Amino acid sequence: MVEPKKIQVELQDDGEYAIEWRTTKPGTPVTVYSGPSAADIDFNAPLVTTTAEKIAIKGLNNGLRRYFYLRAENGEGRLVGERRLPFVGTKNFRDLGGYKTSDGRRIKWGLLYRSGRLDELTENDQEYFSKLNIGVVCDFRREDEQVRCPSRLPKNKSIDVVDLPIGAGSTKRFLDQIESRQVSDDNMMGIMEEIYLDFARNQAEPYGEMFRRLLEAENEGMLIHCTAGKDRTGFGTALILAALGVAPETIMADYLLTTRYFPIDHEMRIMAERYEIPLDYYMKIMRPVFEVHPRYLQVAFGEIEARFRTVGNYLEEALGVTPEVREELRSRLLEE
């Protein structure tokens, strides 16, 4: 059969879809199908049957999202979509579909998204966005970030934008230190750990509201984002995945995907200009701030376990996400 965790789909810059997978028995023939939505795969028109475990498919990129279904010779199959969506104006826009949960189910594709800031979306990006069925956008940026970089969402679609600013505590102190240049390369990771501790200790209100909005988004997808789409969004994503029953190692793997998709040097140049700090200083000192490290997320979840013993207790006692709410979310967002 096709090994679920090994399937990967990416749309390349040249318009080709690159698809890779693994089978439990090498050399097993796999047939690939496609469709414009997860519920509309055309099983009457197979794209290819192959034992190669890696293919490139041309001619399907028409500005709309595609989904693929891979069926092994024995009938076992898997639906898969692109993890990273091909936006030009934001590089770290990802679908959380396909992740396996502890009870063997998987998160449905096309319902849960994460990204960075949306102020540079092109007209084509906006058109693509409007077809993703996203009805709720949770914005974790502070007010000054929103004013400086207002999101460019499509005008032809009704989207409920929920402002859930996260920026108190350690985050504010960090920003003050940047502006005063009271930082050095030997304490950057420590400062980032403090920020993640702040997420776990002091940001229950915005993350709790995130879950309430998710619960209300019955027939539409939801996007959560901040400026870089890696820290505030990364912790929020980890909480959602945990609530749905995704394993800790999978949660960490999703968190670390930012390393692959986030354009660090580009963002560092933007921030250096914004705070009027010499670029060479910024590149030398600030890189840990723009990276993701396992330690950051581990610190946050370590704090949760120290104070609440389990993530489930934290979800219920701090965020109001009861077992009943989690079960409702799972019934809505997971497939067999």
For domain 1-81, give the fold: Immunoglobulin-like (2.60.40)
pLDDT reading at 293 higher than 80? yes
Residue 185: CA count within 13 A, CB half-sphere = 7
Mean pLDDT, residues 50-74 taken together: 89
pLDDT reading at 272 higher than 80? no
Q: What is the CATH class of 83-335?
A: alpha beta
What is the reported pLDDT for 186?
Answer: 60
Residue 255: C-alpha distances to residues 177, 239, 262, 272, 292 (Å): 26, 11, 11, 25, 8
What is the reported pLDDT for 319?
Answer: 98
**CATH 2.60.40.10 residue ranges for the chain:** 1-81
C-alpha 90/C-alpha 233 separation (Å) is 14
Q: How confident is the model at residue 185 (pLDDT cuts 50, 70, 90)?
A: low
**Contact indicator for 134, 113 with CB cutoff of 8 Å:** yes
Q: Which of 16-20, 31-35, 156-160, 323-327 has the lowest mean pLDDT?
A: 156-160
Specify the DSSP class assigned to residue 108: P
Q: Which of 6-15, 190-199, 241-250 has the lowest mean pLDDT?
A: 6-15
Cα angle 172-252-142, degrees, rounded to a multiple of 5: 25
**Contact indicator for 135, 217 with CB cutoff of 8 Å:** yes
Cα angle 224-97-116, degrees, rounded to a multiple of 5: 30
Q: How confident is the model at residue 1 (pLDDT cuts 50, 70, 90)?
A: low
Mean pLDDT, residues 253-264 taken together: 92
Specify the DSSP class assigned to residue 34: E
> What angle, 0 to 180 degrees and rounded to 10, lies between the N-to-C axes of helices 294-308 and 248-256?
140
More confident residue, 266 or 242: 242
C-alpha 283/C-alpha 182 separation (Å) is 15
pLDDT reading at 259 higher than 80? yes
Percent of the chain with pLDDT over 70: 93
Q: How confident is the model at residue 103 (pLDDT cuts 50, 70, 90)?
A: very high
| Global pTM exceeds 0.75 | yes
Q: Which of 18-27, 135-144, 185-194 has the lowest mean pLDDT?
A: 185-194
The structure tokens listed for 150 are 């207002």
**CATH 3.90.190.10 residue ranges for the chain:** 83-335
What is the reported pLDDT for 323?
Answer: 98
Mean pLDDT, residues 184-207 taken together: 88
Mean pLDDT for the chain overall: 90
Q: How confident is the model at residue 181 (pLDDT cuts 50, 70, 90)?
A: low
If we measure between CA atoms, which residue out of 85, 136, 79 comes closest to residue 335? 79
What is the reported pLDDT for 174?
Answer: 61
The structure tokens listed for 53 are 């475990």
